[in-house]
Amino acid sequence: MEIIYEQQKDRSAFIPLLMLADESEAVVRSYLEDGEVYTFSNAGETVGIMLMVAVDSSTIEIKNMAVVDSARGQGTGRQMIKEMEKKVKNSGYRTILVGTSNSSIGNLIFYQKCGFRFESIKKDFFLVYPEPFYENGIRGLDMVMLKKELG
């Protein structure tokens, strides 16, 4: 898997990929210019994207992570996490944070399988979204934050 640090000035081309992991384009646009964007490819085809934002000198947050439909269920997301763990650890970070909706049951399972543990809950986080969203029959209301120590 190839990781590409995207340095282009106009990040709007990444919105369709980032929208795979976030229900609101307005919210995606609010953090689009923050942090660093990485795309992941296999055999020259883009399979995923990750937008990482430094919280402080030792902590970085996965603000958005998405895997294209055709690459899901094949270990792509887990491989993306492993590759970024190595990269950010080499850059001096010791902790990775990630947040997902209380309704994103699959994401909660995925991140725990990748070694993340529950850290906190940001109550009513998703109430600012222009439209309510539902996953697994549950309304997305709270942001569940997970953390992984890199050692």
Q: The pTM is what?
A: 0.94
Per-residue burial over 29-51, b if 16 or more Cβ lie within 10 Å, else e, is eeebeebbbbbbeeeeeebbbbb
Q: Does the domain spanning 2-149 belong to CATH 3.40.630.30?
A: yes
Domain boundaries, the chain: 2-149
Per-residue pLDDT of the chain (151 residues; tens, 9 = 90+): 999 999 888 999 999 999 999 989 999 999 999 999 999 999 999 999 999 999 999 999 999 999 999 999 999 999 999 999 999 999 999 999 999 999 999 999 999 999 999 999 999 999 999 999 999 999 999 999 999 999 8
Asked whether the beta carbons of 128 and 135 are under 8 A apart, the reply is no
